[in-house]
Amino acid sequence: MASETSRIEAFSDGIFSIAATLLVLELKPPAAGQPFWQGILTQWPGFASFLLSFLFIGIMWINHHRLFTHVREADDVLMLANLVLLLGVVWIPYPTLLMAQSVAAGDIRDAAILYNGSYLMIGLLFNLLLFTCIKRGLVDREYADVRGIAIQYAFGHQRGPGVVLPLGPMQTIQAPRGGVPLARPA
C-alpha cells in the first residue's frame, strides 16, 4: 500500500506546485515608459496577494505532507476527499487575482468575501480529509488517538467551555456542550 500513498502524495505535490506557480503568472512587468521602481510599486496589491497566497499554499502543503506521513494505506474515499481538497487548492490563484485587482481599484469587499470564503472551504476540506483518514482507520493508531483528544477539546470538555465561533459583526455566545453557538447583533 505504500506505493498507493506515494502516488497520492506525488500527485498532490504536483497540484500544490502548479497552484503556487500560477500565482506568479499574474505579476506583470512595469508599463513601458514608466520608471522601473515606480511601475513595480504601483503593482503592490498584486505582489502582496501573491506573497500571502504563496505562504498559505505553502502552509497547506506542509499540513498535507505531515498528514500523509501518518497515512498507512489508501482507499477510494481517501483519494476522493484528497482530490476535492486539491480542487480547492488549484482554485486559489483566481480569488488571489480578484483580490489584487480589487485592492488596486479600492473596492475589496466582494473580492475579500470570495478570497476568505475560499480559504474557509479549504479548511473544511482539510477537516474532511482528516476525518476520512481517522474514521476509515487509514492513519497510525497513535495519530488517530491524539487527534481524537484534540477534537474532544475543540468541541468542549464535559466540565470545560463549549464551542465559540466568531460570526463577523455578531457577538458570540458560548454554546453549551453539544449545542450550537448562538449569536446576537453586536
What residue numbers bound the domain in which 12 lies? Answer: 2-154
pLDDT band at 4 (very low <50, low <70, confident <90, very high): confident
Residue 16 lies in a domain: yes
Q: Among 89, 91, 111, which residue's Cα sits nearest to residue 100?
A: 111
Q: Give the model confidence (pLDDT) of 116-157 as tens digits.
A: 999 999 999 999 999 999 899 998 877 776 655 555 545 544
Task: Tally the domains of the chain.
Answer: 1
Grid coordinates belonging to 40: 513595480
Residue 159 lies in a domain: no
Residue 9 lies in a domain: yes
Query: Helices 44-68 and 93-105, interaxial angle, to 10°?
Result: 150
Q: Give the model confidence (pLDDT) of 57-103 as tens digits.
A: 999 999 999 999 999 999 999 999 999 999 999 999 999 999 999 98
DSSP string, 38-73: HHHHTTHHHHHHHHHHHHHHHHHHHHHHHHHTTB--
pLDDT of residue 27: 85
* Sequence-separated (6 or more) residues with CB below 8 Å from residue 27: 43, 46, 47, 50
Residue 165 lies in a domain: no
Residue 179 lies in a domain: no
Residue 180 lies in a domain: no
Residue 163 lies in a domain: no
Residue 150 lies in a domain: yes
pLDDT of residue 28: 86
Instruction: Calculate ∠ Cα 73-19-126, nearest 5°.
Output: 40
